[in-house]
């Protein structure tokens, strides 16, 4: 009983890290920041006990790249005489994420004795499924809605007013493209681990993975349609993995069978629940448009097309304009052109970074994630494809919105190379 309670509490702690938010009684400090502070105490205790708490060269290497990126942002801000310091402190943000991740992994190590890539992935899967369920409860039950709004002040990057205005579903800390990005990475994890579970004949685990995939796909798209990136990438991986597997039919039997059941349940709810009907039409607007009009049309398509605005001078291409946020929200003395949303009216990740600190800063940011991916692959060679899919999600989503996938990598960076279990051992251990 104590172990079950401890696992639930660890899941909550993982959610606090993965989807940070601010409590109403502690405004201004989100859960990620508090966890990073607590991790300093844990780190000091581990250092005193001579455990795995030293900073190795991998952390130093990615810190160096993050520092160079921060300095590039500072140079752009200073040269352009702006006051947008969003990415000048990225090195600090990186270490805050690492601090929160260190606390989560330390607690996992205490509870499970050994931490593995698949163990971390399983916790993230459960957290995302829980967030989807919470989002549905908030949307359908006023008591849950009032409870959340009473004790939670908001998320660390968006307030409830903006979410209510957009009419989007949201969980506790999970909303909009931030949720979409993290749901997409978790869907990639599910796709990868489901294949491994089939290879080890752990069919019960395969079913659970696919059920989690279905829940995150449906409700995740209701919260943020960016989730579709993870769905598409997972399907591509399943097709790729099918060529390498001996028992391919088993995986596709499960996918098709559970898919048919899901379609039947979804159709019933669509016909009998007006709220669900509205949410599902938003989640899969493009598919409904294709069926009803013969043309793929999403309300945000035209908006996204208009956001592809490129710099018109070499200075901006090189070092940027020093703005990533809307100048009118930051600089009271700004008298230039007005835009809706962010600087230059674009939300596209690649363009926002170029406008902020030019191609130089963008190249450093890309290098940062490539180096982080390389480190994870080197440590856990059996999960090479998984880490490539995770970083691919980030680079694909950048065509739509500016995001940061380091929150996912930070967890794996805190796992020791020697303590990760082999894939087969993990699946057998989970089954037992």
The confidence band for 300, taking pLDDT boundaries of 50, 70 and 90, is low
Res. 428: pLDDT tops 60 = no
Return the pLDDT at 427.
Answer: 46
Compute φ and ψ for 246, nearest 5 degrees. Answer: -85, -35
Q: Among 23-37, 264-278, 324-338, 398-412, which is the least confidently predicted range?
A: 324-338
| pLDDT digit string, tens, across residues 335-346 | 667 666 777 788
The three-class DSSP label of residue 95 is helix
384, 423 Cβ separation under 8 angstroms: no
Closest CA to 197 of 432, 388, 428: 428
How far is the C-alpha of 84 from the C-alpha of 343, rounded, in Å?
Answer: 11
46, 158 Cβ separation under 8 angstroms? no
Alpha-carbon distance values, 150 to 18, 32, 143, 169 (Å) = 22, 20, 10, 17
Band of the pLDDT at 365, cuts 50, 70, 90? very high
CA 28 to chain centre: 22
The mean pLDDT of 382-399, rounded to a whole number, is 94
For residue 172, how far is the Cα from the chain centroid?
A: 14
pLDDT at residue 166 in the model: 62
Q: What is the pLDDT of residue 299?
A: 64
- pLDDT of 364: 95
**Does the structure show a pLDDT above 90 at 222?**
no
Predicted confidence (pLDDT) per residue in 179-202, tens digit: 899 999 999 999 999 998 888 878
Residue 287 token pair: 């598919």
- For residue 65, give both structure tokens: 């790249």
What pTM does this model have? 0.89
**Structural domain count of the chain:** 1
Which residue is associated with the tokens 């190590």? 109
What per-residue confidence (pLDDT) applies to 353?
Answer: 93
Q: How far apart, in whole angstroms, are the C-alpha atoms of residue 43 and residue 103?
A: 8
Rounded Cα gap, residues 350 and 354, in angstroms: 6
Q: Cα–Cα distance between 360 and 46 in angstroms, integer? A: 38
| Average pLDDT score over the chain | 84
Q: How is the chain split among helix, strand and coil, in percent rounded to 5? A: 75, 0, 25
What is the pLDDT at residue 51?
53
* pLDDT value for 53: 45
How far apart CA 288 and CA 26 sit, in angstroms, is: 43
Radius of gyration, CA atoms only, the chain: 22
Percent of all residues in the chain with a pLDDT value above 90, rounded to a whole number:
37
Banded pLDDT at 371 (limits 50, 70, 90): very high
Per residue in 398-425, pLDDT tens? 998 888 899 999 999 988 777 665 544 4
Confidence of residue 159 (pLDDT cuts 50, 70, 90): low
Which tens digits make up the pLDDT trace of 84-93?
A: 888 999 999 9
Lowest mean pLDDT among 103-112, 116-125, 128-137, 322-331: 322-331
CA separation for the pair 339, 357 (Å, rounded): 19
Cα 174 to Cα 169: distance, rounded to the nearest angstrom:
9
Domain that holds residue 319: 2-431
User: What pLDDT, on the 0 to 100 scale, is given for residue 297?
Assistant: 65
- Max distance between CA atoms of the chain, in angstroms, equals 66
CA distance linking residue 214 with residue 57, whole number of Å: 40
Name residue, tokens 């940061």.
404
Average pLDDT over residues 219-240: 90
Q: What is the per-residue pLDDT for 74?
A: 94
Q: For the chain, what percent of residues have pLDDT higher than 70?
A: 83
Contact 217, 257 (CB under 8 A): no
Using DSSP's 3-state secondary structure scheme, residue 22 falls into strand
Going by C-beta distance under 8 Å and a sequence separation of 6 or more, which residues neighbour residue 47?
53, 54
Are the C-beta atoms of 162 and 195 separated by less than 8 Å? no
pLDDT of residue 141: 85
């Amino acid at each position: 009983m104590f172990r079950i309670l401890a696992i639930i509490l660890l899941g909550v702690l993982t959610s606090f890290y993965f989807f940070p938010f601010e409590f109403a009684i502690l405004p201004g400090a989100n859960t990620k920041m508090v966890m990073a502070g607590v991790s300093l105490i844990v780190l000091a205790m581990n250092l005193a006990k001579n455990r795995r708490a030293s900073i190795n060269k991998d952390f130093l290497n990615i810190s160096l790249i993050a520092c160079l990126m921060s300095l590039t942002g500072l140079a752009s801000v200073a040269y352009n005489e702006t006051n947008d310091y969003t990415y000048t402190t990225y090195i600090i943000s990186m270490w805050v994420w690492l601090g929160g991740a260190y606390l989560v992994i330390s607690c996992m190590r205490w509870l499970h004795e050994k931490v593995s890539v698949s163990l971390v992935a399983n916790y993230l899967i459960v957290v995302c499924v829980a967030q989807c369920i919470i989002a549905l409860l908030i949307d359908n039950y006023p008591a849950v809605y009032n409870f959340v709004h009473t004790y939670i002040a908001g998320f660390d990057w968006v307030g409830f007013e903006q979410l209510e205005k957009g009419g989007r579903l949201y969980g506790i800390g999970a909303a909009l493209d931030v949720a979409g990005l993290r749901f997409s990475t978790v869907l990639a994890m599910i796709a990868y681990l489901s294949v491994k579970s089939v290879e080890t004949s752990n069919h019960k685990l395969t079913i659970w993975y696919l059920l989690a995939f279905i829940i995150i796909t449906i409700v995740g798209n209701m919260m943020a349609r960016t989730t579709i990136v993870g769905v598409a990438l997972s399907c591509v991986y399943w097709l790729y993995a099918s060529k390498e597997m001996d028992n391919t039919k088993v995986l596709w039997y499960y996918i098709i069978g559970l898919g048919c059941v899901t379609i039947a349940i979804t159709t019933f709810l669509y016909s009998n629940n007006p709220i669900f009907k509205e949410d599902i039409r938003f989640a899969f607007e493009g598919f409904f448009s294709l069926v009803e009009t013969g043309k793929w049309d999403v309300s945000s398509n035209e908006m996204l097309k208009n956001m592809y605005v490129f710099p018109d001078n070499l200075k901006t291409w090189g070092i940027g304009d020093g703005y990533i946020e809307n100048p009118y929200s930051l600089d009271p003395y700004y008298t230039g052109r007005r835009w809706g949303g962010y600087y230059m009216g674009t939300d596209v990740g690649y363009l926002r970074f170029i406008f902020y600190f030019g191609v130089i800063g963008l190249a450093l940011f890309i290098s940062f994630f490539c180096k982080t991916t390389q480190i994870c692959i080197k440590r856990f060679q059996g999960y090479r494809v998984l880490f490539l899919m995770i970083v691919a999600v980030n680079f694909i989503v950048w065509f739509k919105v500016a995001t940061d996938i380091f929150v996912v990598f930070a967890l794996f960076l805190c796992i020791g190379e020697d303590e990760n279990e082999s894939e087969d051992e993990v699946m057998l251990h989970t089954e037992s």
